[in-house]
Amino acid sequence: MEIDECLNRIEEKIDLLSINSPRLSRNEAKKFLKVGESKLRYLVKMERIKQYYDEFGKVYYLRSNLMNYLESNVKRAS
């Protein structure tokens, strides 16, 4: 799900919240949206970093296995 789509859903919920709760003004609801937006962007950023490291880890793991395989075969061949 894209960040903008998530933010739109959050904004819709805040609209409903401000309508259903007379104590919560639209400006107060916008403050919650700002906090939600920054948290969401942070989480998306962390998820992308995690995916990058997961991919990097897989490549590193495959590379090290390949190197070990090649080294053992070179030792056997010599």
Averaged pLDDT of the chain: 70
Q: Helix or strand or coil: residue 57?
A: helix
Length reported for the chain: 78
25 with 18: CB under 8 angstroms? yes
CA–CA separation, 44 vs 4, rounded Å? Answer: 11
Interval 42-65: pLDDT, tens = 777 777 777 777 777 777 777 777
The boundaries of the domain holding residue 71 are 3-77
pLDDT value at residue 11 = 72
Q: How many domains does the chain have?
A: 1
pLDDT value at residue 2 = 64
